[in-house]
Amino acid sequence: MSYDRMMPAIKRPAQLVSASDDVVPVTLHDLGGPAARPVFTLDRGKLSEKGLWGFVPLDPRARSFVRLRAQLLRRMSRSECGRTVAVISPGSGDGKSFVAVNLAAALSELYNVCLVDLDFRKAAIGSLVGTPACLGTEALLANEHRLAEIGCAAPEARLIVLPAQQSTDATRLLASSALPAMFEALRRAPETISIIDTPPMLDMDDAIIISHHADAVLLVIEEGHTKAQDVREVLRLISPTPLVGTVLNRSLAGAST
Ligand SMILES: Nc1ncnc2c1ncn2[C@@H]1O[C@H](COP(=O)(O)OP(=O)(O)O)[C@@H](O)[C@H]1O
Ligand SMILES: [Mg+2]
């Protein structure tokens, strides 16, 4: 993988994560009842090689995600919105999955995190994180399994991953009553922030449906690539779900707002 498109901010010299960050001492709680999901250990070296630097907090390239984490936590507490955040963008390849995994990694230093893949058209989270064989969200939404049986847990990282299998049945899966039930369970999970990876907003209505269930959305846009009219259309489509932040991915200024 080429790193030449990285945000310049993550190429700057290392700065340790501030000691004043609000570290909340928590243990990983079962999600969806007594856990029946496999447990695994993250391979942080391999994750870093894939550009998932959020799992290696002292790596200077993790810095952008530590900053994004701080902004997200500040805005979430200010607006008192809940704890499920859908990562969205207008198109494919904008960096949604990249941002979702890195942000989940950075957040999991402070909170329990549930990283959820609801992109049935280009499921990526399982292979990015390197999860062992486990059931995916498609099995939950097809009402074949309980939430406690879905995904896998990395307790040492306070991370639960609910990956997805590619499916041609995305529309039917996302219409399932198990979807709002899953969001309710994620909201009830103590000290847990859920980051939800989604398909492109402007392709089909999948991401619109997901964003309407989420408490907030984080918009990823690509500098010099995403069109202003597409951003306006996305903002119209997510309404009334609040926008909790915008990531300018592959930005010359390395900005997020
Ligand atoms: N800021 C970045 N630095 C380096 N690689 C990136 C960056 N953003 C995205 N990528 C890479 O670009 C590709 C597309 O990103 P991805 O997250 O899969 O997009 P999406 O989920 O929006 O379709 C992936 O290989 C990803 O690792
Ligand atoms: Mg993706």
> 13 pLDDT exceeds 50?
no
Residue 19 in any domain: the answer is no
What's the confidence (pLDDT) of residue 69? 96
Residue 70 in any domain: the answer is yes
> 154 pLDDT exceeds 90?
yes
R_g of the chain, CA atoms, integer Å: 17
Residue 257 in any domain: the answer is no
Rounded mean pLDDT of the chain? 86
Q: Which residue has the tokens 């309407």?
A: 212
> Mean pLDDT, to the nearest integer, of 147-160?
94
* Structural domain containing residue 234: 25-249
Contact 107, 113 (CB under 8 A): yes
What's the confidence (pLDDT) of residue 79? 65
The number of the ligand 1 atom at minimal distance from the alpha carbon of 119 is 21
> Mean pLDDT, to the nearest integer, of 228-237?
96
Q: Which CATH number do you get for residue 213?
A: 3.40.50.300
Q: When comparing pLDDT for 191 and 2, which is higher?
A: 191
Whether residue 47 has its Cβ less than 6 Å from ligand 1: no
Residue 217 in any domain: the answer is yes
Whether residue 93 has its Cβ less than 6 Å from ligand 1: yes
The pTM is what?
0.88
- Find the 118 Cα to ligand 2 centroid distance in Å: 9
Whether residue 222 has its Cβ less than 6 Å from ligand 1: no
- Ligand 1 test: best mutation among 46, 98, 128, 217, most atoms within 8 Å of CB? 98
- Find the 87 Cα to ligand 2 centroid distance in Å: 9
> 9 pLDDT exceeds 60?
no
Residue 5 in any domain: the answer is no
Minimal-distance CA residue to ligand 1 atom 2: 6
Structural domains counted in the chain: 1
Model confidence at 25, pLDDT cuts 50, 70, 90, reads: very low
Residue 147 in any domain: the answer is yes
> Mean pLDDT, to the nearest integer, of 37-62?
95
Residue 15 in any domain: the answer is no
> 81 pLDDT exceeds 90?
no
Whether residue 192 has its Cβ less than 6 Å from ligand 1: no
- Encode burial over 170-195: b for 16+ CB neighbours within 10 A, e otherwise: beebbeeebbeebbebbeebebbbbb
Residue 57 in any domain: the answer is yes
